[in-house]
Amino acid sequence: MSLPRIAVDAMGGDVGVRVMVEGAALARRQHDQFKFLLVGDETAIKAALQAHPNLRAASEILHAPDVVSGDEKPTQALRRARTTSMGLAIEAVKSGEAGAAVSAGNTGALMAMAKVALRTMPGIDRPALAALVPTLGDHDLIMLDLGANTECNARNLMQFAIMGAAYARIINGLAAPRVRLLNIGTEESKGTGELREAAAMLKQAGEALAFSFDGFTEADKLSRGDFDVVVTDGFTGNIALKAMEGAARFVADLLRRSFSSSLRSKFGFLISKPATELLKHHLDPNNHNGAVFLGLNGVVVKSHGSASALGVAHAVAVTSRLLEERLTERIAADLDHAGSDAVRGTSAAARARSAAENPDVEA
């Protein structure tokens, strides 16, 4: 199947052009239908392509004189969008020169540029950043929002649930993903007013949704594999994700230290090496790389800044899957199926609050 080409911000990430080009080349070797628009410093990209003739034959270079730095404020980056590799990669999606964009650069700048250039889909108030989290189950957990929106109301959370479920059906092949809201407890009385109202809205929507809503979950259950999508605001989600990544590194470092503490431990490591290699593979963020901004009129994927070539290749593979399965169209169809009342948040709780705040207006 012929896919639209993918615009790659070749200058993003901690290492930059070498790893981004190597990752695209690896993805191309795994899937020879991939085609790329490599955006960045033309001289540097051409030099990196010398080692990858297969990629060179499937790529076009778009020169960009500037780069968005890792600590640059989104407002500053926006003003330079038309000269930076990140901004021009997104612009290629808007103009139709590319089907999607991948960048390992500054997350805030990427979100700002993508939102301004591509705009949000009809029925979506705010885009959300969704990522794959490893679990003990048969597939990764879809988690959103992870930092695009620090504060969210019930309507935002409702829309996130619809988008996350559409993503789960594509990436994990699920007919009816199980969705939960992240909370400080599983009881209906727990959490903020926004969380309780979002739960009421999701329950009220019922069969109009293309997924099953299973209530609240706590953070210690995220890796169990008991559900498929978890929804939260970007502030809480980002903290939860970083805590999970830190815990994974802690376990890996503790095992490494334990196995090197004595001769007996080193011998034990040799015996258990197959199991530890499986653990290493499962916890390696490169094998789960590729967070997507859901809710935009176009596909934009964020790679870890520290991702290896393997991680970049994984992000490219995720991007191509979203293009192939028409993510944007699926979300639009799910929004239509759910209906404007469900998506827009006209729950009983919302109507009651509106009536209380506006006594002269009929609820």
Q: What is the CATH number of the domain that holds 300?
A: 3.40.718.10
Angle at CA of residue 164, ends 128 and 341, nearest 5°: 85
Q: Which one-letter amino acid corresponds to residue 35? A: K
Total H helices, total E strands in the chain:
14, 11
Q: Is the pLDDT of residue 143 over 80?
A: yes
Residue 10 structural domain: 1-118+294-324
**362 to each of 164, 343, 352, 357, how far by Cα in Å?**
33, 20, 10, 11
Q: Is the pLDDT of residue 150 over 90?
A: no
Same domain, 49 and 192: no
pLDDT tier for residue 70 given thresholds of 50, 70 and 90:
confident
Q: Is the pLDDT of residue 299 over 90?
A: yes
Same domain, 277 and 142: yes
Same domain, 253 and 173: yes
pLDDT tier for residue 282 given thresholds of 50, 70 and 90:
low
In-domain check, residue 26? yes
pLDDT tier for residue 264 given thresholds of 50, 70 and 90:
low
Q: What is the pLDDT of residues 203-248, one digit of tens each?
A: 888 777 888 998 999 999 998 989 999 999 999 998 998 888 788 7
Same domain, 313 and 338: no
pLDDT at 356: 45
Same domain, 64 and 104: yes
pLDDT tier for residue 357 given thresholds of 50, 70 and 90:
very low
d(CA 251, CA 325): 36
pLDDT at 87: 95
- Is 4 in contact with 99 (CB distance < 8 Å)? yes
Same domain, 103 and 194: no
pLDDT tier for residue 345 given thresholds of 50, 70 and 90:
low
- Is 45 in contact with 22 (CB distance < 8 Å)? no
Mean of all residue pLDDT scores within the chain: 85
Same domain, 312 and 353: no
pLDDT tier for residue 353 given thresholds of 50, 70 and 90:
very low
Q: Give the torsion sign (CA, 57, 59, 62, 65).
A: negative
Bond preceding residue 226 cis, omega within 30 of 0: no
Same domain, 113 and 141: no
Same domain, 176 and 276: yes
Interhelix angle 85-95/107-118, nearest 10 degrees: 30
Q: Which helix (H) or strand (E) holds 204?
A: helix 193-205
d(CA 303, CA 12): 9
As given in the structure block, the two tokens for residue 147 are 């930092």
pLDDT at 347: 46
pLDDT at 221: 92
Same domain, 112 and 199: no
pLDDT at 351: 45
Same domain, 149 and 133: yes
Share in percent of the chain as helix, strand, coil (round to 5): 50, 15, 35
DSSP label of 285: G
d(CA 344, CA 363): 15
Q: Is the pLDDT of residue 77 over 70?
A: yes
Same domain, 97 and 228: no
pLDDT at 279: 55
pLDDT at 210: 81
pLDDT at 360: 44
* Count of structural domains, the chain: 2
